[in-house]
Structure 1
Amino acid sequence: MKKKTWIALGVISLVIIMISVSVYRQVLAKGPTVKTTEIQQEEISSLLMVPGTVKLQDEQIVYAAPDKGELKELLVDEGQTVKKGAVLAKLQNPQLELEMEQNKIAIESANLKINQIDKKIKQLKDKEKTLSDQVGKEEAKKQLAPELEQLEMEKKLANLDLKQTGLQKDIIIKRQAELEIKSTIDGVVLAAKKPDSASSTGAMADPILHIGKLEGMTASGLLSEYDTLKVSSGQKVIIKSDAIQGQEWQGEITKIAIIPEQSQAGLQSGSQAVQYPVTVKISGDTKTLKPGFQVIMEIETDKKSAMVLPIDAVHDDGDKPYVFIVMDGKAQKQSVKTGITSGEKIEILEGVSKGEKVIVNGPDNLKNGLEVTVK
């Protein structure tokens, strides 16, 4: 009895194995299932990808300036909204106060000297009248002329000194006005802090005040000399940030520098690539963007009608680009010549004809001559 049971089990197992092998062969014979598409004529555009940095469109940055004075007090806090002309901070400069006192003394001294000379001139003219009664008008004028000329010369010099001290006073008053730091824009206080002794003299000192208008943002990047020929002011730009996935902003080129950016290191070595700064004004809601964010600026440079395929249909192993076309149930490798890439589309110049079934997103084991099943 046991022997018959074992024989039955063996027969059943053999049948199952044969069925499995048959099914496997049928599946394998069909090959992997693939999705296909056909080449289409569409309007595409070439995109120039330029790395950029988000900046405030309007800002005011104030650094410590020991030559103007030391910070006496900050009158604003971070996050505070300020109006143009508002006093943000006050400086103190004891040396400037001393110069003002010295200037006051110099002005007073010059005025006293002029007054004394005027008195001497008056006395001399009175003397001339008295002398005229004795020796005649012409003789009296002749005798006192040298002394009068000397006094008039001294008065001219004294007036020049007074004018000079007056100019010095104007300069001092202007410097005193600079002791009050005022806002040059309507904006928000982004930073407000007193400098420490290390940062106030260092080459990379932090600003004591940073005012910005958050409503407007710009993005700035660099263009090669070749790329500057493709773009112009007013061109539309799409801006994307890796920090904020799934969101993009519209922009417009507002400025392309006429003179290239140069660094001191590049000037010394003579090997610096020529790059021209470009500025893009960002429109729309920019609340999620922050100054300093790194972005990619997509600038549309060339629009035309072309035969295109999805970019996922084209393969490139470093030799020549190619696609797989389904012919007689098999994948046939076909070399192609490509043009510009526009988003998810790529221009096909040669290699694919209308009506041919091109495999998109094929399996990793896709090879030339492999049997495939089209979805």
Structure 2
Amino acid sequence: MNKKTWIAVGVISLIILTVSVSVYRQVFAKGPSVKITKMIHEEISEKLMVPGTVKLQEEQVIYTSPEKGEVKEFFVQEGQSVKSGTVLAKLENPQLDLEIEQNKLAIETAKLKISQMDKQIKQLKDKERTLIEQVGKKEAKKQLDPEFDRLEMEKELANLDLKQANLQKDLLAKRQSELEIKSTIDGFVLTINKQVVASGQLANSEPLIHIGKMDGMNVTGLLSEYDTLKVQVGQKVHLRSDALTDQKWQGEISNIGILPEKTSQTGMPNETQAVQYPITVKINGELKDLKPGFQVIMEIETEKKMAAVLPIDAIHDDGNGSYVFLVKDGIIRKQKVKTGVASGQKIEILEGVTAKDRVVVNGPDKMKDGMEVTVK
């Protein structure tokens, strides 16, 4: 290879090296690419996110207890439609039957005593007429008045016994009527606890029969005392469920409790209790797949306002507060921010960013202050 050839090879190699260095500088020296955005002003709404439980709008949960009696017979089945007043089951109470028989005897005894007193009083009056003819009215009265007083007293006591027995009869009749368990609403029989009844181990906490209307449901939850000031009856509510991610429901607040429900924050005695108020939301429209007992999230829109916002993806948190990354002259700078209301995929910025700042919204996983970047 002659001298000219060596020179040509050297020149070509130098050109390749120069191009490679230039490409390297363009691709790598300026750092990874980032996508930026700027803060804008737009209308946002504050939303309360309240967990809730789906419940029937109208239901009847029936419990029984040993003092009332034991279940003798059921007259309905699960899934059956019932009307208000339908007899659902009947109890039996041998002790009550005995008391009713004793009451019948007490009433009959009191009536017999009164009848006997009336006969004795009549006989005494006949005796009085005969005695008046013999000894005169004054002497006859003197002799028979004590007997009249005794009979009248015994008759009065018998009348009191009869009155008391009749009062007892009314109480027993009421207890006897309670042996028939009746529906108080129009609805469907959701559950019947026949198996537990058969075992004789029905606990007071377990319902014997559960009836409900299936054409309407509510969601119940709890609000803090501060949040109750932001909502009102009739306000619209959006509902969603983690179990049915592809479905959403609409509702409106139908009731906000006047009295709070106190719940212990730690479960320990003498601990501070959180004061929360019950809230009820009526679900509107088609329920489709939603069932009693489902856990849902209630999104309650409480306030609309104009605000400076950034995408939520632009906000980071290191445990000491929120911050963003700004791009200045190709260098990332970490900037603390104060945030406000979150609305959808946007969040309100109260302090820390101006309208001219270029904020990183999409960058590498390990961004840090002072890193060189290339803006897309």
- TM bracket, shorter-chain basis: 0.7 to 0.9
Alignment partner, residue 67 of structure 2: 67
Alignment partner, residue 343 of structure 1: 344
Distance in 1 separating the partners of 2:35 and 2:150: 109
Q: Secondary structure at the match of 2:196?
A: coil
CA deviation string 1:88-136 (max 9, x = no partner): 1111122222221111111111111111111111222222233333444
Q: 1:221 to 1:349 in 2, by over 3 A?
A: same
Alignment partner, residue 364 of structure 1: 365
Alignment partner, residue 173 of structure 1: 173
**1:226, CA displacement in angstroms?**
4.0
Q: Which runs of 5+ in 1 are unaligned?
A: 1-11
> Is the Cα contact below 8 Å between 2:310 and 2:346 reproduced in 1?
yes
Distance in 1 separating the partners of 2:304 and 2:330: 37
The count of residues paired between Structure 1 and Structure 2 equals 365
Alignment partner, residue 8 of structure 1: none
CA deviation string 1:241-294 (max 9, x = no partner): 211113332333333444443579989812152333413223222232222222
Residues 49-68 of structure 1: pairs in structure 2 closer than 5 A: 49-68=49-68
Q: Which range moves more in the overlay, 27-36 or 103-112?
A: 27-36
Q: Secondary structure at the match of 1:44?
A: strand
Distance in 2 separating the partners of 1:320 and 1:62: 52
Distance in 1 separating the partners of 2:280 and 2:340: 28
**1:145, CA displacement in angstroms?**
2.0
Q: 1:272 to 1:77 in 2, by over 3 A?
A: farther
> Is the Cα contact below 8 Å between 1:337 and 1:348 reproduced in 2?
yes
> Is the Cα contact below 8 Å between 1:64 and 1:195 reproduced in 2?
no
Q: What amino acid is aligned across from residue 64 of structure 2 in structure 1?
A: A
Q: Secondary structure at the match of 1:298?
A: strand
Distance in 2 separating the partners of 1:199 and 1:48: 47
Alignment partner, residue 324 of structure 2: 323
Alignment partner, residue 4 of structure 1: none
Alignment partner, residue 299 of structure 2: 298
Alignment partner, residue 243 of structure 2: 243
**1:365, CA displacement in angstroms?**
3.6
Q: 1:336 to 1:274 in 2, by over 3 A?
A: closer
Q: What amino acid is aligned across from residue 161 of structure 2 in structure 1?
A: D
CA deviation string 1:275-319 (max 9, x = no partner): 334132232222322222222223334443321111111111123
Distance in 1 separating the partners of 2:99 and 2:31: 94
Q: Secondary structure at the match of 1:77?
A: coil
RMSD: 3.3
Distance in 1 separating the partners of 2:359 and 2:202: 63
> Is the Cα contact below 8 Å between 2:219 and 2:283 reproduced in 1?
no
With the length of structure 2 as denominator, give the TM-score of the two structures. Answer: 0.84
**1:205, CA displacement in angstroms?**
4.7
Q: 1:23 to 1:78 in 2, by over 3 A?
A: farther
Distance in 2 separating the partners of 1:193 and 1:142: 73
Distance in 1 separating the partners of 2:272 and 2:210: 32
**1:374, CA displacement in angstroms?**
4.2
Distance in 2 separating the partners of 1:141 and 1:358: 119
Alignment partner, residue 27 of structure 2: 27
Distance in 2 separating the partners of 1:263 and 1:319: 30
> Is the Cα contact below 8 Å between 1:313 and 1:360 reproduced in 2?
yes
Q: 1:69 to 1:294 in 2, by over 3 A?
A: same
Q: Which range moves more in the overlay, 108-117 or 293-302?
A: 293-302
Mapped pair 1:311 → 2:312: yes
Give me the identity figure in percent.
63
Alignment partner, residue 127 of structure 1: 127
